[in-house]
A and B are shown apart, each in its own frame.
Chain A
């Protein structure tokens, strides 16, 4: 008997179907990948299984018995635990306190029983060979280690099913390997691991079976061995994947931005021409985002930028000034500072260009709607209505709205920080096309990405940062993944940065 059996499951949000007649099953002792494009229904399924929302129809069975989870607590009590992309740790508390947060062992007087807490934590970590110090403060851990704390916490609940939502998005290669070996151990101990991901290469390596979603339906469940990536993409988007467009040629006489980046370690000069896509590679924490934000009018102490075009300095004191100077930054963290979650798509799209669309401070709603719709259609956004709050859209669609907001200001230099984070294969290809199109129309584009293949496919030139400095520069035809990774890790750069 399958451990989890889902039949005819459906979920509607305000009348829009997010999940339709989904039927599949998963066994204990397997790593079962859940894959699909943005908006395909992965997150909805996960929320239903973990009790965050309740189905509109259909049933979920655990061990052959129908269950209905009214809350995440109910799902946890049944042995299903979820690790989300966003962590919910308390940075000031220790690893042990975080793992048992809210369920700390108590002494006779109701006080925290530190000895037992430490012992319980050590047992748990040893059982799954997780290398963490129970006493260490969580705020001082790396992202990968914090994720391990989240997983350890989930394991205290997960007697049957562990759901991992895009767990590798924040990890380096070796950290991924570590995660995978822990996942395999958990599987071998009899747990069912539902692995939600859109990184097909990983899915192919780690999963035993996969269920592919498209448009709220499950297309198929298949054993992973024997599937090629092309097969999976075919199932996900209903067609074969388009190859990213080859970068167009940059006119040699195009206007040139000269950017002087001053940090505590001195001043470095980089340049970028109109029509050029300049990739910036580097590990998480290399200082790419700090540089990008400083360039867009958000300097932090110890990192400042002076930018010129044709010898004239640009005003970059605030984001407002930077946008007026034609420089727009697209955040890597949409929820934090990319979207206005409760407001509709028109409000989100027009936010930066409100004055331009108005007449002497009086808004013209029709113009706002028409321009928003036109821009969103150009970005191939599929949404039921312009009146939906943006918070209800999938990550890829949110990214398109944020991009539309930037494009309405007619940027000359667009900075995209991780433009395809949390975005699936189908929408990724669309975003590549869009960025190439924007560059071809004469804008300069800076792309920051942790996915080296993305930079190799998209950029004309790639800079690599390490420890807050630019350490290597390579034209794309002389760049390769190895050299970039080497430079990013502080190894000898392939070509010394001038």
Chain B
């Protein structure tokens, strides 16, 4: 009888919703035993700073994946917007608003294209955003001529990397603020609720009179916008505007989102889980570094995370119905 009571208590916990937080606690405790540095808030804030672009992009991608879509063009959007922001800025702080505006507009535009094509055609979001990503990458190369272009203005990097109270980088703070914005969209707006409804059952959503196409377009535009903000954050972190700065980041983003419990089927998950997923990922990467394993182990590790987390959540949600 105790056995069934424990099983009952476990299923009350809704493992499929909270698994990532348990994983986060476990990996953090593991990290502590490897290096006491993980107990130092300044160190923690710094590693979060490293992962800010991925974290910001993951917010938008989470919204799209809750809807039952995916955005593989996000890496290309990050590259495009980073280099666009740098070259509009042209080393002059006065151009900053214009630069940020241009980057955001570019992100929104790519998102609009993704959203409209997905809402009005039958192409799978995987294929469509993959193709869009390749096209955007090409455009970026054409625009830059294949070399680094643009210079960030003085003070731009310094501002974002300034440490409030000596330990909290502004960039880290920006991530946390944007997470709160994302959470507000997800939890308090009609739009956020509709994302879950459409992701849960698109046919029912159509029949229930939900504006499925409008919500789809808006979600992809938000993904593009957060992608642009991630591009700006990347520029702020590194200061270098290479032509392929965001290349491959889409896989880190996907790994974090999937790890956080937002599945490819849609209708479940959310940004809180994604943030935890981002943290798990960055701690794991740091452990790989500390362990002296080659950098490319990170890639192997990420691929495994995407596969394992998808499989695991599939099983858990099956069990919980």
Chain A min CB distance to B175 (Å): 24
Give Cα A362 to B321, complex, Å. Answer: 29
Given contacts A56-B4, A341-B201, A389-B321, contact A363 B206 (CB under 8 A): no
B4 and A57 contact, CB distance less than 8 A: yes
Of B201, B267, B321, which contacts A337 at CB under 8 A?
B201
B201 and A405 contact, CB distance less than 8 A: no
Give Cα A57 to B189, complex, Å. Answer: 44
B8 at the interface (CB under 8 A from A): yes
Complex interface: chain B residues within 8 A of A12 (CB): 4, 8
Complex interface: chain A residues within 8 A of B210 (CB): 320, 351-352
Q: Which residue of A lies closest to B267 (CB)?
A: A342
Q: Scan A232-243; emit 1 where CB is below 8 A from any B CB, else 0.
A: 000000000000
Q: Scan B199-210; emit 1 where CB is below 8 A from any A CB, else 0.
A: 011011111111
Of A14, A319, A389, which contacts B206 at CB under 8 A?
A319
Of the four ranges (under 10, 10 to 19, 20 to 34, 35 or more), the interface on chain A belongs to 35 or more
Complex interface: chain B residues within 8 A of A355 (CB): 190
Q: Scan B180-216; emit 1 where CB is below 8 A from any A CB, else 0.
A: 0000000011111110110011011111111100000
Complex interface: chain B residues within 8 A of A339 (CB): 201, 204
Complex interface: chain A residues within 8 A of B8 (CB): 12, 14-15
A15 and B204 contact, CB distance less than 8 A: no
Complex interface: chain A residues within 8 A of B201 (CB): 337, 339-341
B12 at the interface (CB under 8 A from A): yes
Q: Scan B51-77; emit 1 where CB is below 8 A from any A CB, else 0.
A: 000000000000000000000000000
Give Cα A361 to B189, complex, Å. Answer: 6
Complex interface: chain A residues within 8 A of B209 (CB): 318-320, 322-324, 328, 352, 409
Chain B min CB distance to A129 (Å): 39
Complex interface: chain B residues within 8 A of A322 (CB): 209
Q: Which residue of A lies closest to B1 (CB)?
A: A57
Give Cα A110 to B130, complex, Å. Answer: 39
A351 and B197 contact, CB distance less than 8 A: yes
B317 at the interface (CB under 8 A from A): yes
Which A328-370 residues have C-beta < 8 A from chain B? 328-329, 331, 336-343, 347, 351-352, 354-355, 358, 361-363
Chain A min CB distance to B200 (Å): 4
Residues of A within 8 A of B (CB): 12, 14-15, 56-57, 296, 298, 318-320, 322-324, 328-329, 331, 336-343, 347, 351-352, 354-355, 358, 361-363, 389, 391-392, 405, 409
The 6 A-B residue pairs with the shortest CB-CB distance, nearest first, are A337-B203, A323-B209, A340-B200, A320-B209, A352-B208, A354-B190
Q: In the complex, given contacts A14-B11, A320-B211, A337-B204, what are 15 additional A-B residue pairs having Cβ atoms less than 8 angstroms apart?
A: A12-B8, A56-B4, A319-B207, A320-B210, A329-B207, A338-B207, A340-B196, A340-B201, A340-B205, A347-B193, A355-B190, A363-B190, A363-B192, A392-B321, A409-B209
